[in-house]
């Protein structure tokens, strides 16, 4: 993949969460995807395979009471991206968390996502 193709894939990925469109994620995830989620603390949970990763991401995308605000997207290589975000589930300052996903792509699909959040 080129830098532009990786950037477009990450744009589409982020857009699915912004628009609360779980179906938009289906074509973005590789069969051999691995997702290391941010919770439960301290190490998160590991999800292996397309179906398992989609289940997590589609659940987040469908949550109308919460949102992801993309703070920065950095394409680190033709197959790597870093997404900095804030997850907001309420109105107050304490109703959000900031985090980062380290993403790897192959063949036009997301194959790895390692999620980390800021903690106290």
Q: What is the DSSP string of 79-101?
A: TEEEEEEEEE-SSSTTSEEEEEE
**What domains appear along the chain, each with residue ranges and CATH number?**
3-117 (3.10.450.50)
**Tokens standing for residue 66:** 């919460």
pLDDT of residue 81: 97
User: What pLDDT digit, counting tens, does each position of 35-66 carry?
Assistant: 999 988 888 899 999 999 999 999 999 999 99
pLDDT of residue 119: 74
pTM over 0.95: no
User: What pLDDT digit, counting tens, does each position of 68-119 carry?
Assistant: 999 999 999 899 999 999 999 998 878 999 999 999 999 999 999 999 998 7
Residue 120 pLDDT more than 70? no
Strands 67-77 vs 29-36: parallel, antiparallel or unpaired: unpaired
């Amino acid at each position: 993949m080129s830098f532009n193709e990786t950037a477009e894939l990450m744009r589409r990925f982020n857009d699915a969460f912004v628009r609360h469109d779980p179906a938009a994620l289906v074509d973005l995830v590789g069969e051999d995807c691995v997702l290391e989620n941010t919770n439960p603390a301290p190490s998160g949970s590991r999800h292996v395979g397309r179906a398992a990763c989609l289940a997590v991401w589609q659940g987040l995308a469908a949550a109308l009471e919460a949102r992801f605000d993309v703070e920065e997207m950095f394409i680190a290589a033709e197959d790597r991206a870093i997404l900095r975000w804030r997850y907001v589930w309420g109105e107050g300052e304490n109703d959000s968390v900031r985090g980062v996903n380290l993403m790897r792509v192959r063949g036009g699909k997301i194959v790895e996502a390692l999620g980390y959040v800021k903690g106290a």
